[in-house]
Amino acid sequence: MFTQEDAVTLRRALATGAHKVRYADGREVTYRSQAEIESMLAKVEDELAGRDRCIVSYAEHSRD
C-alpha cells in the first residue's frame, strides 16, 4: 500500500534526476531510469486515487 508521501518522494526524484529513492518506511530503491520512476509514480497515484491499472480487452467474432 502506497502513501501520499511515496508519491512526493518519487516526484522529487524525477525533478532532481535521482535514481535512488528512500521511502519514509526506510526502504531504499534504485531505479534504472527516469521512465521506471514515472511508471512507479503512475502506479502509486492510481492506487491513491482508488483506480486499478488493469487492461481489459474483448474478443470479437463474426460469421461472415
For every residue of 38-58, DSSP letters joined together read HHHHHHHHHHHTT--------
**Beta bridge partners of residue 21, listed in sequence order:** 29
pLDDT tens column, 21-60: 999 999 999 999 999 999 999 999 999 988 755 656 677 7
pLDDT of residue 56: 62
The answer to whether residues 8 and 24 touch, using CB atoms and an 8 Å cutoff, is no
Q: Is the pLDDT confidence value at 63 over 90?
A: no
pTM score, two decimals? Answer: 0.75
* Domain-wise residue ranges, the chain: 4-48
C-alpha cell at 53: 491499472
Higher pLDDT, 19 or 64: 19
Provide the 8-state DSSP code for 25. T
Alpha-carbon Rg for the chain in angstroms: 17
